[in-house]
Amino acid sequence: MNIRQLQFFYRAACLGNFSATARAENVTVQAVSKSMHELEEEVGGQLFEREGRGVRLTPLGEALLEPARKAVESFESVGRLADAWGKGPTPRSDLRLALVTPPFSKHGFICGIVARLMTQSLGIKTSLSVRIGAEALADLRAGNLDALFTIGRLSAPECTCAQVGTVTPGVFLGRRHPLRGRRQLSFADLAPYPVLWNDEIDGFNETVLVTCRRHGLSSPLEHVGTNEGVVDHLESRNGYIMGVNLKALSILPFAAMHDLDPAEAPVIPVCLVLLEGPRRPEVERLDQFCRNEFFLLKGLINSGGAVAGY
Q: What is the rounded radius of gyration, in angstroms, for the C-alpha atoms of the chain? A: 20
232 beta partners: none
Residues 282 and 123: their CA atoms lie apart, in Å, by: 9
Residues 12 and 36: their CA atoms lie apart, in Å, by: 9
What is the chain's pLDDT, residue by residue, as a tens digit (310 residues)? 788 888 888 888 877 888 888 887 888 888 888 988 998 988 888 888 887 778 888 889 888 888 888 887 777 766 656 665 555 555 678 999 999 988 776 677 778 888 888 898 889 999 999 998 899 999 999 999 999 999 999 999 999 999 988 889 999 999 999 999 888 999 999 999 999 999 889 999 999 999 999 999 999 999 988 888 999 999 999 999 999 887 666 676 788 889 999 999 999 999 999 999 888 999 999 998 887 776 655 555 554 444 344 3
Residues 192 and 220: their CA atoms lie apart, in Å, by: 8
User: Do 21 and 54 touch, CB atoms closer than 8 A?
Assistant: no
185 beta partners: 260
Q: What contacts 24+ positions apart, CB below 8 Å, involve 277-283?
A: 277/158, 280/91, 280/92, 280/146, 282/92, 282/93, 282/94, 282/95, 282/122, 282/124, 282/146, 283/95, 283/146, 283/147
> Considering all CA atoms of the chain, what is the largest pairwise distance in Å, rounded to the nearest integer?
65
Q: Is 129 helix (H, G, I), strand (E, B) or coil?
A: strand
